[in-house]
Structure 1
Amino acid sequence: MAQAQRQPQEETKRNIVIEKLKVVGPGAIISASFVGPGTITTATEAGASFGYALLWALVFSVITTIVLQMMVARLGIVARKGLGAAIRDQFAQPAIKYTIMGFVIFSIFTGSAAYMSGDLNGTSLGLSTLTGWNINAIGPFVGLVVLLIGLTGSYKLIEKLMIVLVIIMSTVFITTMVIAQPNLGGIFTGIFAPSVPAGSIITIAALVGTTVVPYNLFIHSNSVQERWNDSSHLNDSKWDIVISIGMGGLISGSILITSGTLMRGVEVETVADLAIQLEPLLGGWAETFLAIGIFSAGFSSMTAAALGASITVSSVLKWKNGMKNWRFRAIFATVILIGVFSFILNFEPLAIILFAQALNGILLPGIALLILIIMNNKNLLGKYTNSMKVNVIGIIVVIVCFGIGGYSVFSALTAFFN
């Protein structure tokens, strides 16, 4: 009798889990976006240099991302407006309006283009390891594939692709963490007993900077409109964000934990160094296994960077028809082509990358503050404005973003002049 009662309960629980997983979509694009080659490298360096000590910074980054993405998702679903358009409409004074619009467009386009070559290099490295093909031939081919995906104008195609890539990355990096047999006590200490080891400030800033990505906020406010059309779906969106971004954080955390377990004290030169440490555990499969993860991370990050630049520009300038608009596709193509030509010419000017880092350091806290202002606009959101609790959390996030952003600007300027 008891067994008969348990079976319907277990079936009900299983159905609830399946229903929650069905809402995953826009959030997966965000996760696939921030888990790129930069995140893998930063998490690997954090683990190798400081063990599990900086896990708290990664957890904070994920929570910050969830808070901000929930706000912009609510904006998109309730107001049916992208973040770019909301920023444009928030200010009536032309000088303020167009100055902010120009800075947002310039910063995000420059940042997306500046890091595209690195994403393409990571993607090509992974594929080259898997196939043995020449990396110089793979790069342009991968760029062409991403370009064709963007030119299809299909949001659903990109969403499904990103979900698959997140699943692949989850399988690769979480499996390697489990195989590495990390110290569970050390992991809990790293998460719940925050510390700032000597020399770790720049790594903490990098962990936040590679997780809380400004253009993802523009992507999310637009992509939710493709999936949901009224406030009755806000709960679905919240589950999507928590599941997807939580999984992205788990992937990043798995990399840091694996590195902290196997590479403590090892100087990291490239992401491929992690494969060397995995060889005793995975044998000849170590390089192949990691290459699949690196390829997935690079491919997803490339696609999201071009998508982020296109959505930001089109949203701020209020171009209609989304991905079907020829101007949207032109921006997407331009960002990809800049990455391809930079890759072919082996052109990665440090000055431009540092400039993009400095712009991002200014942009992130500025965007966080603008989101907080917009989300309290009753004319726009009515009863769906931020609650007091969300505002308090938002203010804390903005303050921390200003601190991290200021440090990013300082470190970029210091590196540039040195």
Structure 2
Amino acid sequence: MSLMNGWRQDREAPSLSEVYRTVSVGLGGTRLRRFLAFVGPGYLVAVGYMDPGNWATSLAGGAAFGYALLFIALLSNIMAILLQSLCARLAIASGRDLAQACRDAFPAWVARPLWILAELAIIATDLAEVIGTAIGLNLLFGIPLEIGIFITAADVFLILWLQNKGFRWVEALIIALLAVIAVCFGLQIAMADPDWGAVIAGFAPTREIVLDQQMLYLALGIIGATVMPHNLYLHSGIVQTRDFGRDAASRREALTLATWDSTIALMFALTINASILILAAATFHRAGVTEIAEIDQAHLLLEPLLGSALAPILFGVALLCSGLNATVTATMAGQIVMEGFVALRISPVLRRLLTRTLAILPAIIVILIWGNEGTGKLLILSQVVLSFQLPFAIVPLVMFTASRSKMGGLVAPSWLTVVCAMIAVLIVGLNVKLLYDVALG
């Protein structure tokens, strides 16, 4: 069916219906008050850019090459800011999240495979976060991984309780945990006393990034792991928790405020990612420890290198908070994907438990069969799954936001479409290279 608004079919129901338009933006208040009402979704999205899955590349990059790869962290963050701005644009202009948009724009034979791929990506994302949280519990409290993985399922009920109190409570929890992470890394960096001149120089591009094969490989890893599929679905869904006006002027202002929210939040995420790299450079690289293979290895080395028993505790607390944050947002992304693609509405408890169970089962099986060492291989597999699904999320996003018939007056400007298309091609190319490297062992 062809509709005047450019979509093949009308939207059946709003995204995250239980919290849809539940946050008032104070239409009669000041612009500052309206902006503060929009603050929140960007920080939920930012969680995906500092989750446990991203720690490995930052630790490895800082240990091996000092501060040189800070430029890559900055570059990848700029890419993320532009792509997430398209998510907010899609949601505000069309009233659809990315999953709903795919269902309403494509025939069933296209939309259904996209749904299956998105579900696999959600499971892979949740798997990485579950393992990261379990590692954090193990480092801090000595809880075995197989038990820690089951403990992570408790966040299912935490989300439900907070959403019943209001979506702002969910955002408050995320922002509070992000603040704890920031404080932990701030204290560790103060202990490490990095060379701040070298830190500033690290944000400038150098020829060595391209000429040094190992440095290039790590740089590609940092960029390739920047944008994860679940964040695109998540952002386009949670922006719609805001009760902004439906007229053209209100939508345009909502887009501006939502974009500022995500941009500021992602710049905060950059400071966390940069902090991980700076910490690794100021401790491991300075001490000549240039190979950090596992997160727990870094945890053990911090105390002798910094001369403080507090350092590894702060590291473990930051990892645990990062994992908890990421499991919350990944679970919400799973809800958006399930409801958006197939309009499947089941009990919130059952829906979240289903998503979490699909992530816990493979982790438990691997640990029971291969032990703790198997989690590393499982994390690699999860990243391969994410790499495979990424183009199936980015390409539709760029297509939809470039269509005037679908977006109306909020269609993406040509320059933004061209830049985001180039980013999509680059990220897809890097992830294809990742698949090729993994295939070759």
Asked whether the two chains share a fold, i.e. TM above 0.5, the reply is: yes
> Which whole-Å CA distance do the structure 1 matches of 2:377 and 2:276 have between them?
29
> Which whole-Å CA distance do the structure 2 matches of 1:341 and 1:19 have between them?
43
Deviation string, structure 1 residues 313-332 (Cα, Å, up to 9, x no partner): 2212235xxxxx42665442
Change beyond 3 A, Cα 1:237–1:329: same
> Which whole-Å CA distance do the structure 2 matches of 1:242 and 1:153 have between them?
25
- Counterpart for residue 361 of structure 1: 387
Q: Percent identity?
A: 22
Change beyond 3 A, Cα 1:112–1:372: closer
For the 8 Å contact 2:51–2:129, the answer to whether it is kept is yes
- Counterpart for residue 83 of structure 1: 98
- Counterpart for residue 262 of structure 1: 283
Change beyond 3 A, Cα 1:354–1:181: closer
> Which whole-Å CA distance do the structure 2 matches of 1:43 and 1:302 have between them?
20
2:155 aligns with one of 146, 154, 161: 146
- Counterpart for residue 334 of structure 1: 354
- The answer as to 2:236 corresponding to 1:226 is no
Matches within 5 A, 1:14-413: 23-91=38-106, 94=107, 97-99=108-110, 101-143=111-153, 145-152=154-161, 154=163, 155-194=167-206, 195-196=209-210, 197-230=212-245, 231=251, 232-264=253-285, 265-266=288-289, 267-275=291-299, 276-281=301-306, 283-319=308-344, 325-326=345-346, 329-345=349-365, 346=367, 356-413=382-439
> Which whole-Å CA distance do the structure 1 matches of 2:379 and 2:133 have between them?
19
For the 8 Å contact 1:359–1:409, the answer to whether it is kept is no
Q: Which has the larger helix fraction?
A: 1
Deviation string, structure 1 residues 225-265 (Cα, Å, up to 9, x no partner): 00243413222212211111111111011101110121114
> Which whole-Å CA distance do the structure 2 matches of 1:353 and 1:132 have between them?
21
For the 8 Å contact 1:314–1:328, the answer to whether it is kept is no
> Which whole-Å CA distance do the structure 2 matches of 1:318 and 1:83 have between them?
13
Shift of residue 352 of structure 1? Answer: 6.9
Shift of residue 132 of structure 1? Answer: 4.6
Shift of residue 152 of structure 1? Answer: 4.3
Give ranges in structure 2 of 5+ residues lacking alignment.
1-29, 246-250, 369-373
For the 8 Å contact 1:354–1:413, the answer to whether it is kept is no
For the 8 Å contact 1:114–1:352, the answer to whether it is kept is no
> Which whole-Å CA distance do the structure 1 matches of 2:337 and 2:381 have between them?
19
For the 8 Å contact 1:77–1:228, the answer to whether it is kept is no
What letter corresponds to residue 147 of structure 1 in structure 2?
A: V
CA RMSD of aligned residues (A): 2.8
> Which whole-Å CA distance do the structure 1 matches of 2:386 and 2:361 have between them?
23
Shift of residue 350 of structure 1? Answer: 7.9
Q: Which moved more, 1:385-394 or 1:334-343?
A: 334-343
> Which whole-Å CA distance do the structure 2 matches of 1:282 and 1:204 have between them?
30
> Which whole-Å CA distance do the structure 2 matches of 1:201 and 1:385 have between them?
36
For the 8 Å contact 2:139–2:296, the answer to whether it is kept is no
Give ranges in structure 1 of 5+ residues lacking alignment.
1-14, 320-324
Change beyond 3 A, Cα 1:254–1:354: closer
Q: Which moved more, 1:79-88 or 1:147-156?
A: 147-156
Aligned residues: 390
For the 8 Å contact 2:124–2:386, the answer to whether it is kept is no
Shift of residue 106 of structure 1? Answer: 2.3
What letter corresponds to residue 333 of structure 1 in structure 2?
A: L
> Which whole-Å CA distance do the structure 1 matches of 2:55 and 2:381 have between them?
22
SS in structure 2 of the partner of residue 200 of structure 1: helix
- Counterpart for residue 10 of structure 1: none
Shift of residue 22 of structure 1? Answer: 5.7
TM-score, length basis structure 1: 0.84
Change beyond 3 A, Cα 1:85–1:339: closer
For the 8 Å contact 1:110–1:356, the answer to whether it is kept is no
For the 8 Å contact 2:70–2:203, the answer to whether it is kept is yes
> Which whole-Å CA distance do the structure 2 matches of 1:38 and 1:354 have between them?
9
